[in-house]
Amino acid sequence: MKTLWSVELEGNMWNDDTFNGTFDECVEYCKEYNYLIDGKEARLTKILVDEDGCVLEALEIVNEL
């Protein structure tokens, strides 16, 4: 198992991981696509992922930078 960070968007009800990577990669992704990490438009979630890439658990949610 490993941990990743995920960009989640309110526009899809926080249901889908738009982008996964390191914390810094997720922040850069949001900057590139003009998503505001404010807990209203976008948020970052630290996730636990199994060997098959399935999300097992959300470990931490960052609503604001």
> pTM, whole model, 2 decimals?
0.89
CB atoms within 10 A of CB 2: 9
Q: What is the pLDDT of residues 6-55, one digit of tens each?
A: 999 998 888 877 899 999 999 999 999 999 999 999 999 999 999 998 89
Q: Is residue 41 a contact partner of residue 10, using CB atoms and an 8 Å limit?
A: yes
Give how far Cα 37 sits from Cα of 13, 18, 24, 25, Å. 15, 13, 13, 13
| b/e map 35-60, b = 16+ CB within 10 Å | bebeeeebbbbbbebeeeeeeeeeee
Res 13: pLDDT: 87
